[in-house]
Amino acid sequence: MKNQVMKPFIILGLILGLLIPIQIVKSMVDERKERQEDVYDEISNRWGSPVTFGGVFIVSGKEIITAKSADIQCEMKTEIRRKGIFKVPCYNIELTINAEFETSAISGKESTINFNVLHYGNVEINQVKINDKTTSIKNKAISTNRTRYSYEIITLNPKSTIKSVSASFKIRGSEAINFVDQAENTKVKLSADWGDPNFTGKLPLKREITKTWFSSEWISTSEVLLLKDVSINESDEEAFGVSLFVPTSIYQQTDRVLKYALLFILLTFALFFVFEHIYALNIHPFQYLLVGAALTVFYMLLLALSEHIRFGLAYLTASAAVVMLVSLYCRSVLNQKTRALLMALFLTVLYSFLFVLIQMQQFTLLVGSVGVLTLLAATMFFTRNIDWYAQQEAL
């Protein structure tokens, strides 16, 4: 009788003890997150950082004049750079901008033509045309950085007004490319040999996506012709574009799975405890511990596998291995094949529900709360007729 009274406290102690290896796995996830960020920064410094392009503008005297319309054409060729187990999507882009200006806004005084780009790396200017006349600039390389955002292309003393400016660039970058509207009417067309784009900011009006490439087009209008500040930044709310990596990485997904570890162990131990009292079994705390250890190994196995194969396949493999291990062990512990199958079914439902849950973004809390309430209701229903005092006396 004394042992039965103490057993729930022993099981609770086991649950708290199993939080230690779970915390170790979480620290491994955090360490890999930091390492991944370091690799991204390292490759960005060597190859080129994400690009934010703001367009072309003219400085005439003390005035900053933006374009009335801007047509940006961007063609991207991607490649994967690797360092250890980490992969960073990189690209080369050929970008062309054709900008039209209000002829009355620019007189014949000295002017400078500038372009706006936030980038760490090299930008090569291939060609600049002013009023459809090609200038002498060609294949000029400019080293950019993340503290400076505008770069003077050329200084002019025009005899006539500037009606249009077109320029073409070659830029080497990584991870993402974004654009910021700095013209009254802006049109951006972007194509790339990448089959899994993640559009950021406002969505493109037109897009076509296949397994190996995508094409997208944005059209926007504003009433901005004269700007006092043409600065741009990476967190600009008006920026839009595309990133080449999935925002929910394997480490973020694994971290989300780990948040439910305590609930999984608690529910599994609760089912064991119910089996023990319904069928008058005598399950030793050490057997609880072994089952709990198998449940914690799942998270380490998931982390290790997801670094080499797709996360969905890694999750399926890790969960199937744990369900099989626990159910085979329960065949002996629970003294009946049917009970072991019930345990396998219970774990399968739990892992399936968790996988669906982590795929959601906006409804995770709602679905999770409903799921926990359903499990609690099921537990209360199936244990409603158990006389716990009678079970303890029988034991």
* Nearest by Cα to 166 from 121, 209, 119, 115: 115
* CB-CB contact of 304 with 30 (8 Å): no
Q: Does the pLDDT at position 285 exceed 60?
A: yes
Query: Could you tell me the pLDDT band of residue 192, with boundaries at 50, 70 and 90?
Result: very high
Q: Does the pLDDT at position 230 exceed 80?
A: no
* Architecture in CATH for domain 52-246: Sandwich (2.60)
Top pLDDT among 211 and 216 is at: 216
Map out the domains of the chain as residue ranges: 2-36+251-394, 52-246
| 52 vs 180: CA distance, rounded Å | 7
Mean pLDDT of 280-292: 82
Query: Could you tell me the pLDDT band of residue 200, with boundaries at 50, 70 and 90?
Result: confident
* CB-CB contact of 291 with 329 (8 Å): yes
pLDDT of residue 5: 61
pLDDT of residue 226: 42
pLDDT in tens, 71-108: 999 999 998 888 877 878 889 999 999 998 876 555 55
Top pLDDT among 4 and 173 is at: 173
The beta-strand segments (E) located in 45-147 are 51-60, 63-83, 86-100, 111-118, 121-130, 133-134, 140-144
Mean pLDDT of 286-304: 88
pLDDT of residue 352: 86
Name the burial class of residue 384, with classes exposed (0-12), middle (13-18) and buried (19+) by CB atoms within 10 angstroms of its CB.
exposed
Tokens of 157: 């003393």
Top pLDDT among 390 and 204 is at: 204
Q: Is 102 helix (H, G, I), strand (E, B) or coil?
A: coil
Q: Does the pLDDT at position 148 exceed 60?
A: no
The beta-strand segments (E) located in the chain are 51-60, 63-83, 86-100, 111-118, 121-130, 133-134, 140-144, 150-156, 164-174, 176-179, 183-192, 198-200, 206-209, 214-221, 240-243
Least confident range from 47-61, 315-329, 374-388: namely 374-388
Predicted model pTM:
0.65
Mean pLDDT of 355-383: 68
Question: What percent of the chain clears pLDDT 90, i.e. is strictly above it?
Answer: 11
Query: Could you tell me the pLDDT band of residue 225, with boundaries at 50, 70 and 90?
Result: very low
